[in-house]
Structure 1
């Protein structure tokens, strides 16, 4: 019993990228070709770099001829390749390489992440337009939509930062695009990239604004034309 378990453990394991199971259809592979690839990887892992169609067929429910045909298709699809090498004794030998398969999986992984990022960006942009329309209480004009797009595409402001600037404008009682644009300009000039930085900067600004108003009130009797301090006048 113990020797049986030891023999089972000695069979070892192979490392298979999980993405292979989720993306093999996108690589135009069927289930038989997937299992054939797994068997090739198993043989390579155990030191047999070039298993024969007979050896591969013996592990599957396909004939040797069918196995040969699948190997040919895998090479055509760029999932495996046969590499010629020479030993230290100068003996020529061949081996299978699954590097092309791994490269394709990397491409699929990057493309999948790109699609997710694009979907998230689109969702954030939609949510951003909704936030603005909710605060303004009306649909945005074409000019306002273009301004939003420019903030994201040309000025590269994160939608979260744009929302923070919108909140800042609401709190300041100056809900207009020119004022929000000025806030974003000042934040970018001061290297503000996070919500926490924006909040701290906003608090400092409002404190300064309140101090200016207090000074204005104290000096109103002597100088009634003191200007109101806000973002647009920085």
Structure 2
């Protein structure tokens, strides 16, 4: 057999497995025999045989038919494999489905993703403590530390927006947690989710405050002039 023909022959019937399954089957609680048995069930289904017998599976593995039956039974009991009625065949029969396995892999992926997000959030929260202490020029009090945690864990404010709110407090000259909390509440109420939107809103607030301050100053000056003229 020529080398090219042999490679072509080897590539025929290749099976695709989720990378998450290959890399994490032990985390799912599967040993090597259970993993390979599921692989052969998957391959059999892909090849048009949705309900391979224990004998057919064991002939492709280094385990006995009895061991194969035992592993299949345990995999079904543990929720990795399921038997369903095959309604698409000419004669009503049974078939294996690996849907429970795929659902477990998806759950594992979601758990890993949530863990990564949680660790990322904790890292950003720690950076927030450092940033606030630098801007305040002192260590945060226990109440202030708790407030920061509430903003992140309970109110679910984006740490990036918390930093933006701190910046607005610095620009406004109002360095206190109550003012920053009001900023965050206002942004959440207005649906502000990006730093650009927060920056524009901050500019509008400062401009309005400046106009209000100027108006108040004009009123004071008018009042002073009025009383001066009466004298």
- TM bucket (normalised to shorter chain) is 0.7 to 0.9
Alignment match, 2:188: 188
Counterparts of 1:50-65 in structure 2 under 5 Å? 50-65=51-66
For residues 112-171 of structure 1, give each alpha carbon's deviation from its aligned partner in whole angstroms, at most 9, with x where no partner exists: 222222222222222222221222122222222233234345544222211111111112
Give the root-mean-square deviation of aligned CA atoms: 2.9
Alignment match, 1:132: 132
Structure 2 unmatched ranges of 5 or more: 225-231
Aligned residues: 222
For residues 73-125 of structure 1, give each alpha carbon's deviation from its aligned partner in whole angstroms, at most 9, with x where no partner exists: 32232211233446776x45332221221122222222222222222222222
Alignment match, 1:33: 34
Judging changes above 3 Å, is the alpha-carbon distance between structure 1 residues 175 and 37 closer, same or farther for their aligned structure 2 residues? same
My pick for the range that moved more, 215-224 or 74-83, is: 215-224
Aligned equivalents of 1:146, 1:4: Cα separation in 2: 67
Aligned-pair distance for 1:197? 0.6
Alignment match, 1:98: 98
Aligned-pair distance for 1:42? 0.6
Is the partner of 1:160 in helix, strand or coil? helix
Alignment match, 2:48: 47
Aligned equivalents of 1:21, 1:172: Cα separation in 2: 55
Structure 1 unmatched ranges of 5 or more: 225-234
Alignment match, 1:123: 123
Aligned-pair distance for 1:48? 1.3
Alignment match, 2:70: 69
Judging changes above 3 Å, is the alpha-carbon distance between structure 1 residues 185 and 106 closer, same or farther for their aligned structure 2 residues? closer
Aligned equivalents of 1:168, 1:220: Cα separation in 2: 28
Is contact 1:83-1:95 (8 Å) kept? Answer: yes
Aligned equivalents of 1:136, 1:164: Cα separation in 2: 15
Alignment match, 1:166: 166
Aligned-pair distance for 1:56? 1.9
Aligned equivalents of 2:78, 2:120: Cα separation in 1: 32
Instruction: Report the structure, 1 or 2, having the larger helix content.
Output: 2
My pick for the range that moved more, 15-24 or 194-203, is: 15-24
Is contact 1:133-1:139 (8 Å) kept? Answer: yes
